[in-house]
Amino acid sequence: MDHVDLNLIDALDALLAENSVTKAAARLHTSAPAMSRALGRLRRAFDDPLLVRAGRDLVPTPRALELRGEVHAVATRARALFAPSNSADPQTIVRTFDLQVTDMLSTTFIPTLIDDLRVQAPGISLRLRPENLEDTPALREGLVDLEIGIIRPGDPEIHSDALATETLIAAVRPDHPLARTNTVTPELFAAADHVVVSRRGRAHGPIDEQLADRGLRRRVIAVVPSFATALFLARETDVVCVAPAALGRSMLDTLGLRTFPIPLELPPLTVSMAWHPRNHHDRTHQLLRERTRHIMAAAADGGGQSVPLHE
């Protein structure tokens, strides 16, 4: 290690995150020529080009992709080593957290969290990461600091904490035919046109299995990748979409949608958060988790009941 410049770790982290010499230089507040020289030294150190030209862009080599997660984790730990004490005043902390939040929460929970942090810790910034990181060990590799949503069983070393139990309800626009129905039966529910939310494009799920047990089948006219898209479709056309009762309440009200219980025996959903042990004792991370618990508890207490279809 005597001949290794440890500053290159930070440079490599920025280069692999940005895939651009210019953007990496701006991220580290240095010049593009200096970053280009650092890339040259890194290429010699790893005996690999790391980033190669593809048209007007740079793309990572397979070796760079192998290094990306570990380099980011090492760089993060190194910066934390020289960061101010964890006992620093929340009002003066300056920190950016990478969050992976399930789609149904990104439009409902995140605005409340941002407003809360403006008061509790105004120096904390949030960076939402794409949901496709669900299929990677993002927490372990340091790509994500906190995951919030329906947490699937995974790495046993990961810490997790249940936040709320959520019930799914159906939502329609005020002039939908079901909005003029006093009681929505499974038959009426199945007879309506539906829009389904699935990041993987799946049109079939637990609702369809429940309907099949009753000899029923619904017509899915659209599969969309996001909860927000489904709600806007429900506002604009005669389709039924499914929404979380409590955590989705603010957006349902904003869009003026009517809700009713789904006439099936669907299991409740448990919303949780998960984090890596490296962050377990970090005071600022603990603050973020505490504010997340507080907001989720308030949302669960303040919602959860479907509003009547008729005013």
Same-domain pairing of 127 and 202: no
Window from 50-64, 151-165, 226-240 with minimum mean pLDDT: 151-165
Domain count, the chain: 3
User: Could you tell me the residue range of the domain that residue 14 belongs to?
Assistant: 6-82
For the four alpha carbons of 11, 285, 161 and 230, in that order, the dihedral sign comes to negative
Q: Is the pTM of this model over 0.85?
A: no
Same-domain pairing of 211 and 286: no
Of the listed ranges 77-86, 103-112, 193-202, 300-309, the one predicted with least confidence: 300-309
pLDDT of 180 reads: 86
What's the pLDDT score for residue 293?
94
Query: Rounded distance, CA 115 to CA 126, Å?
Result: 12
Question: How confident is the model over 45-67, as pLDDT tens digits?
Answer: 999 999 998 888 889 999 999 99
* Residue 68, domain CATH: 1.10.10.10
Q: What is the CATH number of the domain that holds 104?
A: 3.40.190.10
306 pLDDT band, cuts 50/70/90, is very low
What digits encode the pLDDT tens for the residues 276-304? 998 998 889 999 999 999 998 887 775 44
Domain end position, chosen among 32, 60, 82: 82
Q: Tell me whether residue 87 is in a domain.
A: no
In this predicted structure, the answer to whether residue 261 has a pLDDT above a threshold of 50 is yes
| 18 or 108: which leads in pLDDT | 18
Are both 257 and 196 inside the same structural domain? yes
Residue 103 has pLDDT above 70, yes or no: yes
Side chain identity at 151, as an amino acid letter? Answer: I
What one-letter code names the amino acid at 7? N
Claim to verify: residue 70 and residue 127 sit in the same structural domain? no
Statement to judge: residues 174 and 150 lie in one domain: no
Bigger pLDDT: 152 vs 262 = 262
Average model confidence (pLDDT) across the chain: 87
Q: Where residue 309 falls among pLDDT bands split at 50, 70, 90?
A: very low
Q: Is residue 280 in a domain?
A: yes
Q: Does the pLDDT at position 36 exceed 70? A: yes
More confident residue, 131 or 33: 33
Q: Residues 129-155: pLDDT tens digits?
A: 877 655 557 888 888 999 998 887 767
Of residues 226 and 214, more confidently modeled: 214
Query: Which of 109, 153, 168 has its CA nearest to residue 291?
Result: 109
